Amino acid sequence: MPRTHIELDESIERLSILDAEGNVDKERDPDINRELLLKLYRAMVLGRRFDERLLALQRQGRIGTFPPISGQEAAHLGAVAVLQPEDWMVPAFRETAAEVWRGRSLESVILGNAGFNEAAALAPPGPNLPVAVPVGSQMLHAVGLGWAARYRGKDQVVLTFFGDGATSEGDFHEAMNFAGVYQAPVIFVCQNNQWAISIPRHAQTRSATIAQKALAYGMPGIQVDGNDVLAVYAAVAEAAARARAGNGPTLVECETYRMKMHTTADDPKRYRTDEEVEGWRRKDPILRFETYLKRRRLLTKAKIEAVDAEVREAIQTAVDAAETRMASLGDPIDMFDHAYAEMTPAIAAHREEFLAETAAAAEEGSDA
């Protein structure tokens, strides 16, 4: 029997529209209106400034551990900006700016990072899932939502985020396979930020790209410059149109970089070089978008300063509100209230035990 070749009529594209110097490929520039362009710019600046403020709060011991997003603003905001209000957003944990875009308050983010259960409430209620810390688990939820939307004949698409590290989880492969088989209207957006804590991208997979994994599951895959907000928007808009037309899922790999630590409990200097970080600093997503907007006369120096001042004020207001709220919360007994809508007998027993133990400890303390 001869050996033959099975021709696969598929290849992987890489899309880049706005380069690191802010030069644009005019033919590929997606037609984003001025209002949305400026809304995106403000959201990116807010994301960056909020990260800086959260880091200061963490270092002052006013909140707990959190995962910074700096450097990845274009990758998740360019994607989420494509969605309609009735579409689902299913995040991992490094998409804070996208959550805020979808209506989550800064106050809720601060409260969550300070460890308060109250931040888990979905506010405003809508088609957004909360952050998923178990790596990769959210992709399966996204496919379930997408499949349900298709089954019910709803005009809804689902966008889910995950990292490069999450593609090593079985959940990723099950989600991709199921979405392909059932043509679920799901947009898989991988924020490939080159690292999964201290594991570099090349140790995560032998594949040349993450995008090409789509081919095995019978769906289109595309790699984009994830620090180019126009390219991310264009690729995700194409994927959303495909999903809405009943033509199934797409994998969009956004190549980006985590400029800060994995979480505030991590020291990235132990596993990556300053040169590497510096190289990516030159590809900053906000600076190149700023240049683009200035050249289009949509931004001036005065307007840039005004946006900066306005977002700083919004952040300060949120910090004040969150700290006032925290002062009225924080009794550890509250943790038992949030596990189930109705307390189970086992949880009720734990609660009683906890009350008895804390009372005994207080008694002991007063005797001493």
- Catalytic machinery residues: 258, 262, 271
Q: How far apart are CA 170 and CA 178, in angstroms?
A: 12
Residue 165 as a binder of ligand TPP (CB under 6 A): the answer is: yes
Q: How far is the CB of 193 from ligand TPP (least distance, A)?
A: 5
Partner that binds at residue 133, options ligand TPP, Mg ion, none, CB closer than 5 to 8 Å by kind: ligand TPP
Among 96, 193, 223, 256, binds Mg ion (CB under 5 A): 193
Q: How far is the CB of 295 from ligand TPP (least distance, A)?
A: 32
Alpha helices in 226-271 (DSSP H): 229-244
Which amino acid is it at 90?
A: V
Residue 197 as a binder of ligand TPP (CB under 6 A): the answer is: yes
Residue 256 as a binder of Mg ion (CB under 5 A): the answer is: no
Residue 196 as a binder of Mg ion (CB under 5 A): the answer is: yes
Tokens of 243: 């999903």
Among 115, 134, 200, 279, binds ligand TPP (CB under 6 A): 134
Residue 204 as a binder of Mg ion (CB under 5 A): the answer is: no
Phi, psi of 221 (to 5 degrees): -130, 145
Under a CB-based contact definition with an 8 Å cutoff, are residues 175 and 214 in contact? no
Residue 94 as a binder of ligand TPP (CB under 6 A): the answer is: yes
SS3 of residue 38 by DSSP: helix
Among 51, 107, 164, 284, binds Mg ion (CB under 5 A): 164
Under a CB-based contact definition with an 8 Å cutoff, are residues 42 and 35 in contact? no
Helices then strands (H, E): number in the chain?
A: 12, 8
Contact region with Mg ion (CB under 5 A), list: 31-39, 120-128, 157-165, 277-285: 157-165
Contact region with Mg ion (CB under 5 A), list: 14-22, 43-51, 162-170, 206-214: 162-170
Residue 73 as a binder of Mg ion (CB under 5 A): the answer is: no
Residue 163 as a binder of ligand TPP (CB under 6 A): the answer is: yes
Under a CB-based contact definition with an 8 Å cutoff, are residues 194 and 43 in contact? no
Angle between the 285-295 and 73-80 helix axes, to the nearest 10 degrees? Answer: 60
Nearer to ligand TPP, 198 or 324 (CB): 198
Binders of ligand TPP in range 213-272 (CB under 6 A): 258, 262
Which amino acid is it at 94?
A: R
Residue 193 as a binder of ligand TPP (CB under 6 A): the answer is: yes
DSSP string, 279-342: HHHTT-HHHHHHHHHHHTTS--HHHHHHHHHHHHHHHHHHHHHHHHHHHH---GGGGGGGS-SS
Q: How far is the CB of 228 from Mg ion (least distance, A)?
A: 18
Phi, psi of 199 (to 5 degrees): -95, 120
Q: How far apart are CA 256 and CA 75, in angstroms?
A: 7
Contact region with ligand TPP (CB under 6 A), list: 193-201, 226-234, 312-320, 322-330: 193-201
Name the site residues for Mg ion (rule: CB under 5 A): 163-165, 193, 196
